[in-house]
Each structure stands twice: as C-alpha cells, then as structure tokens.
Amino acid sequence: MLAFIFDKNTFPLSAETKPKSTPALTSSKVNEEHDKKEILKRYRALLKASKAHVGNQDQKLIRKAFDLALDAHKEMRRRSGEPYILHPLAVAQIVAQEIGLGTTSIVCALLHDTVEDTHITLEDIAQQFGAKTAKIIDGLTKISGVFDNSSSIQAENFRKMLLTLSDDVRVILIKLADRLHNMRTLGSMPRDKQLKIASETAYLYAPLAHRLGLYAIKTEMDDLVLKYKEPQVYKDIVKQLKQTKREREAFIAEFMQPIRKSLDAHGLKYEIKGRTKSIHSIFNKMKKQNIPFEEVFDLFAIRVILDSEQDREKPDCWQAYSIVTDYYKPNPDRLRDWISTPKANGYESLHTTVMSTGGRWVEVQIRSLRMDEIAEKGYAAHWKYKESSSESAVDEWINRIREMLENSEGNALDFIDDFKLNLFSDEIFVFTPKGDLRTLPVGATALDFAFEIHTNIGEKCIGAKINHKLVPLSHVLNSGDQIEILTSSKQNPKEDWLEFAITAKAKSKIKSALKEEKRKISEDGREIFDRKFKNLKLDKSDFDMHKLLMYLRLPNASEFYYRLAKEVIDFSEVKDFLINKDRIDEKLASRPETKSLEDVVKQIRGSNEALVIGDNLTNMDYKLSPCCNPISGDDVFGFITINEGIKIHRVNCPNAIQLMSNYGYRIVKAKWTHQKEIAFLAGIKINGTDDVGVVNNITKVISNELKVNMRSISIDSNEGLFEGTIMLFVHDTKHLDKLIAKLLKVKGIYSISRIE
C-alpha cells in the first residue's frame, strides 16, 4: 500500500533512494513497486495543480480523502490493468488544473466512486468530510436498481445528477471531469462499449460542457468522440495536421509581425496565441462543404489576449481590432461582437475574419485575460469574478434548469430530450416591448418567447406582433426582433403547439398543461363509465379492469377513461365485453403470448456474441435501416426494436448517437459475412461541369465497365455546373470505393460523396 511510501503527517515527496544491494524481485513485486511510484507521481502532480487554490489545512483534507480512496480501492484495477486509484486521482487533477475548482471539489473527485464501488457509505463521508461533500458525492453516485425498459439507466443517472444542480453546480463539473478521463482512457474498452460511451458523450456531456463555458473540455470531448466513432478519419486528419504544422507556424509569425509592432507602439500589454481548429470541427467542415482537408482554409485562429483592467477591457479590445484591420481587410459579414452581448454561456470576445496578404482568410479573436479565463474554464471562472459582475447568463441558465427540474414529470428520456433543447450553442437576441433583452435558441418561435416572459402569458397567447406586424405563434424569430405577445383569457395550450415550440421551458409547460387537461377529461370518462355500468345492472365485484384493458389493448385505466370521454372508444364495444365475458376470456387466452422487450433483449443478447449479418444460419430477424442504408463493409451495430426485430444501423448514422446514448442496453454488436451475391442499395452525389456527354460517360463506367445496376439517376444543371444523385446496387464498401475512384477519372467530375 502507498502508506508505506511517505509519512502521513509531514507529506515528504522526495523519491525513494535505491538500497545498495537489492535481492532479485519477482515480476509481481516489480509491478507493485512500479504502481507505487506511479501513484506517488500522480499524487504529487495533484498537489502541485491545487497549490493555487488550497492552503496547508486544505492539503491535509485532500491527503485524508486520498488515503481513504486509496484504501477503499486497493484491490481494484481498471480494465487497462492499472490500479483503480489512478482514475480518481486523474479526475481530481482535471478538477483542480483544467477547471480550477477548490478543496471541496478535489476531495469529492477523489472519493467520487467510493460509495458506489466500495464499502464506504455516504454516512461515512458525511462524518469525516461534512454534509456538503456527502451531498455532492450522492449526486455523483450512479443509480442502482431496475428501471422500466422504456427508459434508460444512463438517462436516469443524468437526471439524478441534474437534480443536485439545485444545490451545487460542482456535481456537474466533477461529472464532466470524470467523463473526460473516461474518454481519454477509452482505448482499453471493447468496441461496443467505446461506441456507447462516445455516443453518450456526444449527445449530452459535450453540449453540457459547452453550455457551462468549458470550451477546452468540450473540444477535447468532441475530438475523442470522433477518434472512437470514426478512427480512420481521425487518424488521417491528425497526420495531415502534423505534416502542415511548420507551414502554419511560419504563416502565423509572418501575419502577426506588423500587428505586434503596432500593439507595442500603442502601449498595450498582450499575448498572442495561434490556435489550430479542433479535429472535430475540421471534419465537420469537410463533411458539410464536401471538401478534402487541403481545401479547409481556415484551419486556425489567432488570439490576441490583452492584459487590461476591467474598466478598460472594451475600449482596449476595440483598439486592438482597429489595429488588426489597419493591416488586413476584414470580412464585414464575419464580425462577431460578444463583448457588448455575451453568449448564453458567458463567453465574451471580439471575432473578425480578415484577408491576409497571401490571399487566405484568417480568424482573429480579441479578448482580455479575464474573458480568456472564462472562455477556457467557464462557470468555475465566473465564481472568481462574481463580486464585480451582475448575475451571469450561466446563473440564469442554471435557474432555468432548476425550474425545469421542479416541473419534470414523465420518463427520463422525455426529460433528457427537453433538457437537450437548453444546450443550444447558437443564440438570437430579441427584445420585449419595453426594450429588455432576452436570449433564445436559433429557431425559437413567438410561442417560445411568450413562455420565456411568463408561463401564464404562454398558456394564454393567441398571436404576436413582431416589429409592429401581426404574426402567428409559429413565426420563427430573428435577432433584433421586438415582440409583443397578444393573449386571451379563453385560450388554452393545444397539442399542435408542441410541433413548433422548441425551448425546453415552453415544451415542458405545454406538456404539463395538456396532462392536466387530460386528467380532467379522464375523470369525466370515469363518471360516464360508472353511470353506464350501473345502467347495465351488472355486479361490480365481478368486473376485471385489467382484462378489459387487455381486450382493448390499452396501457392503463386513465387512457381508457380519456378515450371513452373523447368518444374514441364506443361504449357498445365495452358493453360487448361486459355481457359476453366468457367468450371474451376464451379469445384472450387464445392470443399468442407477447414477450416483453426485456425478454427479447435477454434472448438476443444471450444467443450470440455478435449478430452475423447475411449468415443463413442465424435465426434472428433483422432489417437494414433506411435512415442510413448500411452496406457490407460498413461499421455497423444492431438495435433491438419493439415490433420490427433488429434494425442494422451504420455507426455514423444520424440517429446512432441518440440510440446508443439513450438505449445502450438494446444495442448488439453486428458483423458482416463475405457474401458477394448480396447487393445493397447505396447512393452517391456527383458534382462537376456540365459538358456534352458527361452523363453518358458516367453511365458507361457504372453499367459497362463495373457491371453495376442502377435504380435511379437524377441530374440537375445550372449555369455550366451539374449536381447528380445516383442510387445503385453494390456488394460492399470496397466495391463502392472502387466505383467512386473510377468515376472521379471521368472528365468534368469535381467531387463524389456517398449519401449519408
């Protein structure tokens, strides 16, 4: 145990001296010594990282938490084989160094897995470290027990974690640090687990990090998601970035030279950084614009960080902007002023894109040291500057989440879907009739604005005036709009409102109102049923509601009463059941037994390590999902549906992230057999110049040279250029790649991409 390495009271951290004569060590002894040294090294690094935030008394508390965690996890190892204690140490390191939190958070990070995985209880934590620490660790502890299969254990965990947000946002920050370290060490996990964890990260944790202003953590999470979901793409971009690094550095130095001279001449204190775009954002740009790496011109941004007093920040930033644009022509459409109007996550900066002398666009970001710290460390940095600022946008957002949690009903997945809507990255700024500024997500409607003002206004709204013009509730807002909401006391929320409301607050309030209305209608339905049952003069004790629900195929009595009141169910059908009870019982008994989803999942998961697609020996029913059209050779997974057997999806399917993150227990591994005779439908998009005979040349390559059958071809030309879509049948990804390579040699074709 590590306790033998250094004294508990004096914290000596010098390396052990090697004795003059050492007996031969066994392999296990060597490993034990190596583990001790590694743990000591990581503990030292943690103390160094926390130095800025903690005093001597705090160091003793951190040591106490470390000793407890070390002892609790002493027999445990991670899948990679390393001692488990290295994980809580790494999480604590991220919390201290990368987020900048203090002693309580470091202690909680060290102890975050003890209650779930060891003999330590929350009572033990409270006794030794206080109630606040125990409360945070409770929020970090996963839920145990059995859940409804329509739900997701991961979603329940997430909801529980967010519930603690009402008391302490540090729960979220430590959880993000925990997830980041899990992503950094994901290489030791099996492929299906990698995909599930990466999908959860992309779906919830990366957007949450963004919303709390943790830009560096969000960026790294996105990059790691790409690394495990599309490993070859990730490797290719990393390789190309390395190859062009020297060229980029030389360009930045040349670009900044005149700007440096001018900043010095004006007496501004500053630091300049050149930041390469994240691998994930480069990939997104390549995918969105359908271009290769070489054509991504804005690979990097240059950041000018000014050391200014807080009352001088804004004028100094604009002065720096003026200096930059003295030398380089700005793109007027690319100026972003997030100093006058900060982003919803508290981000402040001036962004401009300028044309360099070499004919390349360069993004320049200008901000103060304070703004830079908030941009990197997000919410944690807000605490540091709290005294000198009013309630931040992040605090407002957290208050919204609290309100949403208080009104949260239904299953965890509905809650997560609503919560996701609060994680918007792009905002618009709109105004009330009195000129008050409100922030909403891009795509928000007049209805969302009404609920943003007040729940009662939202529920009673009938229309809106935008910039003094009458518009419907579904009207999409733009930045700068001034909105006046029109209401009526007779109005009530409608079901179709859910189709165009996009904020979580609006959706949850509408659902809540509709649920209350449905409850009242169900009560009316119960009275109708009781009255009609009484008229039939039947014995109530002989009535079995469960059998009636089975007969009508309804989930519960409340739904039955609601449909009866709305006259969706004809009482004559109910009367038939009540009067002809014996005949109905026989009919129900003869129905084939329906297996629960849980039974289906167990059967499939237990029958095969991986679903083999195309194997005649398999007795499992599967279908290729039309949302991504997988073909042989694609990286795929199986998703167990309720009524349609197993659906095969590509790993990079647009729906994959949501399926894997919310329904991980219904995912099965899948692999292809090599059966050449199977033909899969795939689509390609072709762009090129509209020369005479180009379509004929394309079809010749497809039909004559490669003997590929086409299902459809559509070509549209405009001003000398054409864009075409071809659906064709191929054997596998190699076959498709060969076809694309051949078509790219046809004169006049610029680019070809597979339709996702």
pLDDT of residue 622: 76
Distance of alpha carbon 680 from alpha carbon 729, whole angstroms: 5
pLDDT digits (tens, 9 = 90+) for 441-500: 888 999 999 999 999 999 999 999 998 899 999 999 988 889 999 999 988 899 889 888
Residue 714, classed as helix, strand or coil, is strand
Listed residue (423, 480, 429, 420) closest to 452, CA to CA: 429
Contact 270, 306 (CB under 8 A): yes
pLDDT > 90 fraction of the chain, expressed in percent and rounded: 22
Better-scored residue on pLDDT, 373 or 153: 373
**Given a cut of 50, is residue 183 above it in pLDDT?**
yes
Listed residue (596, 611, 544, 617) closest to 574, CA to CA: 544
Q: Which residues contact 240 (CB under 8 A, 6 or more apart)?
A: 293
If you average pLDDT over residues 142-155, what whole number do you get?
A: 50
pLDDT of residue 407: 59
Continuous segment of H or E residues that includes residue 448: helix 446-453
Contact 680, 629 (CB under 8 A): yes
For the four alpha carbons of 616, 620, 626 and 632, in that order, the dihedral sign comes to negative
Residue keyed to tokens 């991980």 = 664
Distance of alpha carbon 362 from alpha carbon 451, whole angstroms: 40
pLDDT digits (tens, 9 = 90+) for 548-559: 787 777 878 888
pLDDT digits (tens, 9 = 90+) for 398-426: 666 666 665 555 556 666 666 665 665 57
Better-scored residue on pLDDT, 140 or 22: 140
Better-scored residue on pLDDT, 491 or 384: 491
Is 98 one of the catalytic residues? Answer: no
Is 220 one of the catalytic residues? Answer: no
- For residue 268, give both structure tokens: 């501004």
* Residues 445, 210, 332: CA angle, nearest 5 degrees: 65
Going along the chain from its start, the domains and CATH numbers come out as 2-229 (1.10.3210.10), 237-387 (3.30.460.10), 393-510 (3.10.20.30), 513-590 (no CATH), 597-672 (no CATH), 680-754 (3.30.70.260)
DSSP 87-143: HHHHHHHIIIIII---HHHHHHHHHTTHHHHSS--HHHHHHHH-HHHHHHHHHHSPP
Better-scored residue on pLDDT, 609 or 238: 238
Distance of alpha carbon 484 from alpha carbon 746, whole angstroms: 58
Residue 566, classed as helix, strand or coil, is coil
| Neighbour count for residue 111 (Cβ, 10 Å) | 27
Selecting among 16, 33, 116, 295, the annotated active-site residue is 116
- When pLDDT is cut at 50, 70 and 90, the band that residue 716 belongs to is confident
CA distances, 747 to each of 312, 523, 735 (Å):
59, 72, 21
Q: Average model confidence (pLDDT) for the chain?
A: 80
Selecting among 38, 71, 82, 117, the annotated active-site residue is 117
**Given a cut of 60, is residue 606 above it in pLDDT?**
no
If you average pLDDT over residues 718-744, what whole number do you get?
A: 85
Contact 214, 378 (CB under 8 A): yes
Q: Are strands 427-431 and 336-337 parallel, antiparallel or unpaired?
A: unpaired
pLDDT digits (tens, 9 = 90+) for 243-300: 888 888 888 888 999 999 999 999 999 999 888 888 999 998 888 877 888 777 777 7
Query: Which of 1-5, 38-42, 577-581, 588-592 bottoms out in mean pLDDT, i.e. has the lowest?
Result: 1-5
pLDDT of residue 484: 93
pLDDT of residue 394: 60
| Neighbour count for residue 466 (Cβ, 10 Å) | 17
- When pLDDT is cut at 50, 70 and 90, the band that residue 9 belongs to is very low
Distance of alpha carbon 41 from alpha carbon 61, whole angstroms: 19
Query: Which one of 81-90, 166-175, 650-659 scores highest in mean pLDDT?
Result: 81-90
pLDDT digits (tens, 9 = 90+) for 324-366: 999 999 988 888 899 988 887 778 999 999 998 878 888 999 9
Listed residue (89, 84, 148, 147) closest to 116, CA to CA: 84
DSSP label at 386? G
| Neighbour count for residue 459 (Cβ, 10 Å) | 18
Q: Are strands 667-672 and 680-689 parallel, antiparallel or unpaired?
A: unpaired
- When pLDDT is cut at 50, 70 and 90, the band that residue 25 belongs to is very low
pLDDT of residue 20: 37
pLDDT of residue 12: 39
Q: Which residues contact 142 (CB under 8 A, 6 or more apart)?
A: 116, 157
